[in-house]
Structure 1
Amino acid sequence: MPLERKTARPQANAIKGRGAASWVPGRYEKRQVEGEDDGWDTLYAEDDFTPDPRPETRVTEERARSIISRNQSPDIGFSQSVNPYRGCEHGCVYCFARPSHAYLDLSPGLDFETRLFAKTNAAELLRKELAKPGYVPHPIALGINTDGYQPIERERRITRECLEALAEARHPVSLITKSALIARDLDLLAPMARQGLVSVMLSVTTLDNKLSSQLEPRAAAPHTRIKTIAALHEAGVPVGVLVAPIIPMVTDRHLEHILEAAHAAGARAAGYVLLRLPHELKQVWREWLELHVPERAGHVMSLVQQMRGGKDYDSRFGTRMRGEGPFADLIAMRFAKARKRLGFPDLPPLRRDAFRAPKLDSPQGDLF
């Protein structure tokens, strides 16, 4: 039975260590609780409708039924992905994956970063998928919808288990993360890199520590991500930087500085993505603007809409990542000019010819 969840007060407050400030209702919720003041100023007297000032992270273990997700999107560079977790404790307020929590009858707001799900059988399922007769290897993007190296990975180690399965099968894999925890797995990544089986992109949004703590409160600090790029590069792992998302009048001024710092650290590829606001993310994002940069909120949204055909979001392939219009064109030109000046050579293609299907223990062996 769906949980009945209280809503936040009309004037939400920023919560330290969290990106969202309220439980924004999911688009599939059938029941919501709203507070109405009767005029006696008692509505919030006992904090019944105010988010906990220190909402705890809760992790639910689940047994997934399948693990490899496939897509045919023409504007992303992979056709297969594996996500060890649902929800992400990094709490990035702009995360395009937030609306996916609505499928669980949970809020894309605070629930997305506090109600997490760990797929405990992910590596087991992955080995079974790779062992299927006729399986054709294509690079797998590991931890894309939500970061595979978010804080709970330190103890759960599900991403590492999946990486071990891919390493054993000599299967190509790419990773995108905002976490320095990926350096823990250099003992796996470095040998895979020598075989041409892995590449990594570090996502960097800003070099401003204060702004980063507001936008992505539990992700690694910007300078730590730059150091992680250096550590991967020194270990021989092909690594690049993804400037994402670029937010007009909030982070766009950092574009060239991020590229320069990442290139100096050893990044050999660069990309960018403009802010995307699908479904409930529009409300989560507007709430953040009003709390943190109220004097610019209207201007930010005006520029966003100028890049999205007058709407908050345009989901069309070909434009959803880059936008359109004068401001989007300016960002594209700035990026291209900086990329050319710095001389990013691009990451090498991943090998597919080294794949060897896992050999699974047959239960029939116990009969003889």
Structure 2
Amino acid sequence: MSQQDFIKGRGTAIQPNARFESTHTEAQDDGWIGDLEETPQITRTHITEERARSIISHNSSPDVPIDASLNPYRGCEHGCSYCFARPTHAYLNLSPGLDFETKLFAKTNAAAVLEAELAKPSYRCVTITLGTNTDPYQPIERRYAITRQVLEVLARTRHPVAIITKNALIERDLDLLVDLARDNLVRVMVSITTLDNRLSSKLEPRASAPHRRIETVRALSAAGVSVSVLVAPVIPMITDRFLEEILQRSHAAGAQSAGYVLIRLPHEVKDIFRDWLRVHFPDRAEHVMSLIQQMRGGRDYDARFGTRMKGEGVFADLLKARFARMQRQLGLGLRSENPLNTSLFQPPRKLQPQGDLFAR
């Protein structure tokens, strides 16, 4: 295995061209810098601070139970090789490969823009989900705390929020989450892909280790925060064997509901994931892709609503049956069964020219 095949702490070492680029580049050894395979690769994380013009996105997909979403960051340092959000970096004229996990963008004014949008007379309160595209608690959140600032706005306005993460850093914000939980204003969904630490370090190298995520479920639940576990994504012949045990251990830790999502490989992700299989599981790479294609109508990915999250066919039906059996056995509910409270929302008060001189 060459240095170009694998970079420690990163999900991929390749840089597939973004699909919107008008020109493509390819490295060639001209004899001046030696063997390309021996050339050190720069993998330091580079963060660009940006000012968002809007912050709330609305969902129109019928198979995603999310009305509105907010993503404090673009790109994700977790480096998950399977991440369906990687193709979004193409809109920035960056590669969905290594660029996605090393060239990040922090929306430093997210909380202020959110407050302004919540204050609009036309705004109607629906649950806002953090982490639908990139993880709001990825490592750079320790430095920027944008997610915490957003939660402070939502807590102050009593606005419901759902959070999807695979990072134990969320425990830092337990004070805000407990406050929101008292009024049924928050639900956390912890994503757990595998229970094998070594596999996780290859598959999602900068996310919290699986056992640490289980402890996060326990900590949140013990504090009174509603917790759901997402077995996501399920990868045939790689992670599907952990399905039952993830549900059992999450339930024992206090998870109240559960869901699962089949691996999705849109656009450039299919090439990144194929390369990951070639590097880490060459003995079964073809078999894994064959099973994925069987569940995707013979293709690497099927984007149709209704099938893209779970797939179809014999293997997909088996996964569905396995999940349903464990769900019944453990008494785990569905995320949609207990909607969050939208009745307590108080829009932010606009500042008056004379301030609070006459307020009582």
TM tier, smaller: over 0.9
CA distance in 2, matches of 1:270, 1:297: 29
- Out of 17, 24, 27, the position equivalent to 1:32 is 24
Cα drift, residue 20 of structure 1: 1.0
| Contact 2:73–2:134, Cα closer than 8 Å, also in 1 | yes
- Out of 245, 257, 261, the position equivalent to 1:257 is 245
- Out of 339, 344, 353, the position equivalent to 1:349 is 339
| Contact 1:248–1:300, Cα closer than 8 Å, also in 2 | yes
CA distance in 2, matches of 1:56, 1:13: 17
**Residue 215 to residue 44, structure 1, CA distance change in 2 (3 Å):** farther
Cα drift, residue 163 of structure 1: 0.5
Cα drift, residue 33 of structure 1: 1.9
CA distance in 2, matches of 1:61, 1:43: 36
Deviations 1:317-355, CA, capped at 9 Å, x for gaps? 000000000000000000000111111144532001001
| Contact 1:190–1:235, Cα closer than 8 Å, also in 2 | yes
Cα drift, residue 25 of structure 1: 1.0
Matched, 1:87 2:68: no
- Out of 277, 296, 317, the position equivalent to 2:305 is 317
CA distance in 2, matches of 1:44, 1:319: 49
**Percent identical residues:** 60
**3-state SS of the aligned residue for 1:192?**
helix
What is aligned with 2:263?
Answer: 275
1:175-324 aligned within 5 A: 175-324=163-312
- Out of 8, 13, 18, the position equivalent to 1:16 is 8
Matched, 1:124 2:124: no
CA distance in 1, matches of 2:241, 2:351: 55
Residue type of the alignment partner of 1:17: G
Deviations 1:243-282, CA, capped at 9 Å, x for gaps? 0000011000010010011000000000000000000001
Residue type of the alignment partner of 2:157: A
Matched, 1:109 2:101: no
Matched, 1:359 2:355: no
| Contact 1:15–1:54, Cα closer than 8 Å, also in 2 | no
CA distance in 2, matches of 1:26, 1:51: 23
Deviations 1:152-211, CA, capped at 9 Å, x for gaps? 001100000000001111001000000000010010000110101000010000000000
- Out of 56, 72, 77, the position equivalent to 1:68 is 56
Deviations 1:91-125, CA, capped at 9 Å, x for gaps? 01100000000000001000000000000110000
CA distance in 2, matches of 1:343, 1:118: 39
| Contact 1:36–1:43, Cα closer than 8 Å, also in 2 | no
What is aligned with 2:34?
Answer: 45
| Contact 2:327–2:333, Cα closer than 8 Å, also in 1 | no
Q: Which runs of 4+ in 1 moved over 4 A?
A: 49-54
What TM-score results when the alignment is normalised by the length of structure 2? 0.95
1:144-159 aligned within 5 A: 144-159=132-147
Cα drift, residue 306 of structure 1: 0.4
CA distance in 2, matches of 1:304, 1:44: 41
Matched, 1:136 2:124: yes
CA distance in 2, matches of 1:103, 1:52: 28
| Contact 2:132–2:164, Cα closer than 8 Å, also in 1 | yes
Residue type of the alignment partner of 1:235: A
What is aligned with 1:6?
Answer: none
Residue type of the alignment partner of 1:23: Q
Structure 1 unaligned blocks of 5 or more: 1-8
Cα drift, residue 50 of structure 1: 7.2
What is aligned with 2:153?
Answer: 165
Residue type of the alignment partner of 2:349: K
CA distance in 2, matches of 1:218, 1:12: 19
**Residue 97 to residue 72, structure 1, CA distance change in 2 (3 Å):** same
Deviations 1:63-94, CA, capped at 9 Å, x for gaps? 01100001111111111000000000000110
CA distance in 2, matches of 1:115, 1:104: 10
Cα drift, residue 32 of structure 1: 2.1
Residue type of the alignment partner of 2:20: Y
CA distance in 1, matches of 2:174, 2:277: 38
CA distance in 2, matches of 1:183, 1:17: 23
CA distance in 2, matches of 1:355, 1:37: 60
CA distance in 2, matches of 1:178, 1:87: 15
CA distance in 1, matches of 2:101, 2:297: 30
What is the root-mean-square deviation of aligned Cα atoms in Å? 1.9
CA distance in 1, matches of 2:6, 2:329: 40
